[in-house]
């Protein structure tokens, strides 16, 4: 039956997914982060498990319980996430970068709490490594690599730019300017862009739905595109 086929679509395959925000420490009590809830990444992990995969989730700090039979690796900073990602990616058939990785971190993490000073304070930030680009650049055992793009404008153009520049196989574009969708919501709407096995440009519009329903569609589209 259809259900049996779906439940075995990813049998014998390993998927690694990054999820949630990263936290970049400023001092022992403060950090820079963002509003990512981790819900989309966790929904993808559950969907991949339902379709028969072995699933690793590399998780930033989130308020979500670990789904059953999923290997969860907790990380805090972008650099910790990159280290875990590079360790697991080459053992994975598919890598999905769903995390909202902080683009910058403090140039120096203070070992003591920063004291209140004058009326202005300047923080010096330095660029974090690009986790998914480093996975996509693996030359040995490179997984099929899927990114997300959160955009507030020029969604298709920016997303397709990331697909190309980061050397990804697929990108899931997210218009985060739509009220009630994306960050911190249970619902989302996405457009997937990828290259098929012959290198042809492909596109799939997934209209507004729950993140769990979208996750099933994304995982099925990935499976059909890469196996």
Q: Which SS3 state, helix, strand or coil, does residue 91 take?
A: coil
What is the C-alpha separation between 147 and 168, in angstroms, rounded? Answer: 7
Considering only 24-32, 97-105, 140-148, 187-195, which stretch makes contact with Ca ion by CB under 5 A?
97-105
- Secondary-structure percent of the chain, ordered helix, strand, coil, rounded to 5: 30, 30, 40
Considering only 53-61, 98-106, 111-119, 175-183, which stretch makes contact with ligand CTP by CB under 6 A?
98-106
What is the C-alpha separation between 72 and 215, in angstroms, rounded? Answer: 18
Residue 131 binding partner per list ligand CTP, Ca ion, none, with a CB distance cut-off of 5 to 8 Å that depends on partner kind: ligand CTP
| Choice from 101, 106, 192, 215 touching ligand CTP (CB under 6 A) | 101
Residue 62: both structure tokens together: 């989130």
Active site residues: 34
Q: Is 131 in the site for ligand CTP (CB under 6 A)?
A: yes
Q: Is 103 in the site for ligand CTP (CB under 6 A)?
A: yes
Q: Which is nearer to Ca ion, 97 or 143 (CB)?
A: 97
Considering only 94-102, 105-113, 115-123, 213-221, which stretch makes contact with ligand CTP by CB under 6 A?
94-102
Residue 138: both structure tokens together: 């693996």
Q: Is 51 in the site for ligand CTP (CB under 6 A)?
A: no
Q: Is 103 in the site for Ca ion (CB under 5 A)?
A: yes
- Say if residue 33 is exposed, middle or buried (CB neighbours under 10 Å; 0-12, 13-18, 19+): middle
CA-nearest of 87, 73, 90 to 20 is: 73
DSSP per-residue string spanning 111-152: SSPPPP-SS-----EEEPP-HHHHHHT-SSSPPEEEEEEEES
Helix H or strand E segment including 41: helix 39-50
Q: Is 70 in the site for ligand CTP (CB under 6 A)?
A: no
Q: Is 148 in the site for ligand CTP (CB under 6 A)?
A: yes
* Shortest distance, position 217 Cβ to Ca ion, whole Å: 24
| Choice from 155, 162, 191, 211 touching ligand CTP (CB under 6 A) | 162
Token look-up 């969860």 returns 72
Residues contributing to the site for Ca ion (CB under 5 A): 103
Residues contributing to the site for ligand CTP (CB under 6 A): 18, 78, 97, 99, 101, 103, 128, 130-132, 147-150, 162
């Amino acid at each position: 039956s259809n259900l049996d086929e779906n439940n075995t679509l990813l049998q014998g395959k390993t998927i690694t997914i990054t999820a949630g925000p990263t936290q970049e420490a400023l001092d022992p009590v403060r950090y820079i982060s963002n509003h990512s809830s981790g819900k989309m990444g966790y929904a993808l992990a559950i969907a991949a498990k339902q379709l028969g995969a072995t699933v690793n989730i590399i998780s930033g700090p989130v308020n979500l319980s670990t789904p059953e039979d999923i290997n969860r690796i907790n990380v805090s900073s972008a650099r910790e996430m990159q280290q875990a990602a590079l360790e697991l990616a080459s053992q994975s058939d598919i890598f999905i970068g769903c995390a909202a990785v902080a683009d910058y971190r403090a140039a120096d993490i203070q070992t003591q709490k920063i004291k209140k000073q004058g009326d202005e304070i300047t923080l010096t930030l330095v660029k974090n490594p690009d986790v998914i680009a480093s996975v996509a650049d693996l030359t040995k055992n490179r997984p099929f690599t899927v990114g997300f793009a959160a955009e507030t404008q020029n969604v298709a153009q920016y997303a397709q730019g990331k697909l190309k520049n980061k050397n990804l196989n697929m990108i899931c574009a997210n218009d985060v300017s739509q009220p009630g969708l994306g960050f911190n919501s249970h619902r989302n709407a996405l457009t997937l862009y990828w290259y098929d096995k012959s290198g042809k440009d492909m596109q799939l519009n997934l209209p507004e739905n729950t993140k769990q329903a979208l996750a099933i569609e994304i995982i099925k589209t990935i499976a059909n595109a890469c196996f």
